[in-house]
């Protein structure tokens, strides 16, 4: 199964076709429009199997899948984390689509949102069959900005559940030491950071798989983020 995550930087209705050639089974797309309320006929026709959330119809979080994949939104409490999307895939795997954002207070913003969500629901979530993917807006290099609930705290919490970043596990890289960025601030290559992730249970990672971070060229003309892809090479 192939998972692709991308912060499309809005106007996904004009960009969705860019992903088709990579044939992902499931796409987690941040900053995309709600297909149901879109006036773009091609986008609406393309988005036949999806779940979308957001307060702004033009800028939310969507999970899109092939027609043969069953998506079911899970009743996991996420009211305090409006852009977290828990979904059951094929009645088997739990996907948590993530887009952390700023808040009125630092302790409730960005990576703290994911830490709190996981901590509050750790007894509900099935970590043995979980995928957590999206724009975390976080890196271990910024741990000092938060005394608790920082990036390394989230990684530690997940690692204790045998859930790891596919990129870091495959490349044997420590968090904060990434060599390949996923985000270019203001699309500036001198301001590049690794802030997008796909975490999975170790069961996925002990089998043959690949993880790709797309090259910034030509993707920077479409977004300040590049797509990332996990492919398990099996169904």
pLDDT at 78: 62
- Going residue by residue through the chain, which has 235 residues, state the pLDDT in tens, using 9 for 90 and above: 999 999 999 999 999 999 999 999 999 999 999 999 999 999 999 999 999 999 999 999 999 999 999 999 998 876 567 789 999 999 999 999 999 998 877 777 899 999 999 999 989 899 999 999 999 999 999 999 888 899 999 999 999 999 999 999 999 999 999 999 999 999 999 999 999 999 999 999 999 999 999 999 999 999 999 999 999 976 5
pLDDT at 50: 98
Q: Could you tell me which of 93, 103, 41, 38 has the C-alpha nearest to residue 65?
A: 93
What SS3 class is residue 220? coil
User: How many residues does this entry show for the chain?
Assistant: 235
Q: Could you tell me which of 43, 51, 96 has the C-alpha nearest to residue 69?
A: 51
CATH of 2-231, one of 3.40.1000.10, 3.60.10.10, 2.102.10.10, 3.50.50.60: 3.60.10.10
pLDDT at 97: 97
pLDDT at 79: 59
Runs of H (alpha helix) within the chain: 41-46, 111-120, 151-159, 166-171, 202-205, 216-219
Q: Which residues contact 115 (CB under 8 A, 6 or more apart)?
A: 148, 149, 150, 153, 154, 157
The full set of domain ranges for the chain reads 2-231
The Cα 80–Cα 199 span in angstroms is 22
Rounded-to-5 percentages of helix, strand, coil across the chain: 30, 30, 45
The Cα 194–Cα 172 span in angstroms is 15
State the DSSP code for 153: H
pLDDT at 69: 97
State the DSSP code for 37: G
pLDDT at 235: 52
The Cα 112–Cα 138 span in angstroms is 10
Beta strands in the chain (DSSP E): 2-7, 26-32, 50-53, 60-65, 71-73, 84-89, 93-99, 130-135, 163-165, 183-184, 192-193, 196-201, 210-213, 228-231
């Amino acid at each position: 199964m192939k998972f692709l995550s991308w912060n499309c930087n809005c106007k996904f209705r004009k960009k969705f076709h860019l992903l088709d050639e990579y044939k992902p089974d499931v796409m987690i797309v941040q900053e995309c429009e709600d297909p149901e309320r879109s006036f773009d006929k091609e986008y609406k026709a393309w988005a036949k199997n999806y779940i979308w959330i957001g307060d702004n119809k033009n800028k939310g979080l969507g999970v899109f899948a092939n027609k043969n994949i069953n998506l079911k939104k899970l009743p996991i409490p996420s009211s305090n984390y409006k852009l977290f999307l828990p979904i059951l895939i094929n009645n088997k795997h739990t996907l948590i689509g993530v887009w952390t954002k700023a808040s009125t207070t630092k302790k409730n913003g960005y990576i703290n949102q994911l830490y709190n969500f996981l901590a509050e629901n750790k007894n509900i979530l099935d970590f043995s069959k979980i995928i957590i993917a999206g724009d975390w807006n976080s890196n271990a290099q910024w741990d000092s900005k938060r005394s608790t609930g920082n990036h390394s705290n989230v990684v530690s919490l997940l690692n204790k559940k045998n859930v790891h970043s596919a990129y870091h596990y495959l490349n044997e890289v420590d968090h904060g030491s990434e060599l390949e960025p996923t985000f270019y601030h203001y699309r500036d290559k001198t301001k590049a950071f690794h802030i997008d992730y796909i975490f999975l249970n170790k069961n996925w990672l002990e089998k043959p798989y690949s993880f790709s971070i797309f090259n910034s060229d030509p993707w920077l003309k479409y977004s300040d983020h590049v797509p990332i892809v996990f492919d398990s090479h099996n169904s």
